[in-house]
Amino acid sequence: MADETRKGIKNQVVGSAKEVAGTVRDAAADLTGDMSEQVKGKAEKMEGKIQGAVGRVQEKIGLKEDEERMKRRGGTP
């Protein structure tokens, strides 16, 4: 497995965790009426979405690298 694939998977997992944490933070802030925390929650959620998207791209690049490496070796991916 290419390093890029591993990085991609890790970024997807961490990104998903940030999305969840941001959603929880936003919801809690909504209940308490804390606008500052609500904004921070929305920002954390967006950061998680972006990190997840970057991870998906990294994973695809890594899989493509693996496929190319296997072709050079004469095998199938």
How does DSSP classify residue 33?
T
* Structural domain of 27: 3-73
Q: Which two tokens stand for residue 33?
A: 């009426």
Give pLDDT tens digits for 10-32.
Answer: 999 999 999 999 999 999 999 99
Residue 75 has what pLDDT? 63
Number of domains in the chain: 1
pLDDT-based confidence at 59, cuts 50/70/90? Answer: very high
Q: How far apart are CA 68 and CA 14, in angstroms?
A: 28
Residue 39 has what pLDDT? 97
- In the three-class reduction of DSSP (H, G, I as helix; E, B as strand; rest coil), residue 34 is classed as coil
Predicted model pTM = 0.83
pLDDT-based confidence at 74, cuts 50/70/90? Answer: confident
